[in-house]
């Protein structure tokens, strides 16, 4: 939830079939509709091209470090959380991958598209917010794209497991822990919190928090 350098996003495109005579391309309940699922990755190369001093400095750092009290960014913070970040409501440069799926979750090879793009993110959601929207049904009605992506992810995961993916070798989702610390001036000490959640592609997010 606290991440500022947002480097990826997902979306769903509704496609018309050749025998679909309707002009409405926004109705997800139309049985003749096909979906194209998009994955958008921030186009960092646009701002830090290969061989540039900026990229060389980032290569020396290797990665961003997320510490309990601060973050050490691989790129300058004003860039990694600015022009390089897929912030909401702004036009952003990205590299986008679009695919269609068969009913069994396999990718249709001829549907694969990879293209530079300019995208505008409608809004940012945490995994917990998505789970809540699905539980309340909003993810299948007003925000139907969320339900469509869950259905696609479930099919895709089942297909991967059936074809030997290591996801199927782990009986339970592997949890992820996040430790954060905030300095309390009155106490003169840090308040430390621990957040544990299951991996987001497990199909069931469970978040526990404690101090």
Contact 192, 181 (CB under 8 A): yes
pLDDT for 80-136, tens place per residue?
888 999 988 889 999 999 999 999 999 999 999 999 999 999 888 887 888 889 888
3-state helix, strand, coil in the chain (%, to 5): 25, 30, 40
Contact 11, 88 (CB under 8 A): no
Q: Residue 38 burial by CB count (10 A; 0-12/13-18/19+): exposed, middle or buried?
A: buried
pLDDT for 8-18, tens place per residue?
999 999 997 65
At 112 the three-state DSSP class reads coil
More confident residue, 209 or 87: 87
- The mean pLDDT value of the chain amounts to 83
Percent of the chain predicted with pLDDT > 90: 41
- Residues 4-29 have a mean pLDDT of 72
Contact 50, 84 (CB under 8 A): no
| Beta-bridge partner residues of 209 | 195
- Residues 169-185 have a mean pLDDT of 79
**159: confidence class by pLDDT, cuts 50, 70, 90:** very high
- Give the model's pLDDT for residue 199: 54
At 117 the three-state DSSP class reads strand
- Give the model's pLDDT for residue 35: 94
Per-residue tokens: 118: 């300019």
């Amino acid at each position: 939830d606290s991440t500022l350098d947002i480097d990826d996003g997902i979306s769903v495109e509704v496609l018309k079939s050749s025998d679909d005579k309707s002009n409405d391309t926004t109705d997800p309940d139309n049985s003749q509709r096909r979906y194209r699922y998009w994955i958008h990755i921030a186009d960092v190369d646009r701002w830090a091209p290969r061989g540039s001093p900026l990229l060389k400095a980032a290569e020396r750092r290797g990665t961003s470090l997320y510490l309990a009290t601060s973050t050490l960014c691989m790129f300058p913070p004003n860039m990694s959380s600015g022009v390089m970040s897929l912030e909401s409501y702004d036009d952003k440069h990205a590299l986008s991958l679009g695919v269609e799926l068969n009913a069994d979750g396999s990718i249709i090879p001829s549907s694969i598209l990879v293209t530079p793009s300019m995208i505008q993110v409608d809004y940012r959601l945490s995994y917990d917010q998505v789970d809540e929207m699905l539980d309340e049904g909003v993810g299948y009605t007003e925000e139907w794209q969320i339900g469509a992506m869950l259905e696609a992810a479930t099919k895709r995961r089942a297909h991967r497991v059936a074809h030997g993916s290591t996801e199927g070798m782990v009986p339970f989702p592997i949890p992820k822990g996040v430790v954060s610390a905030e300095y309390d001036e009155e106490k003169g000490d840090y308040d430390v919190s621990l957040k544990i959640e299951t991996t987001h592609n497990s199909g069931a997010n469970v978040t526990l928090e404690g101090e």
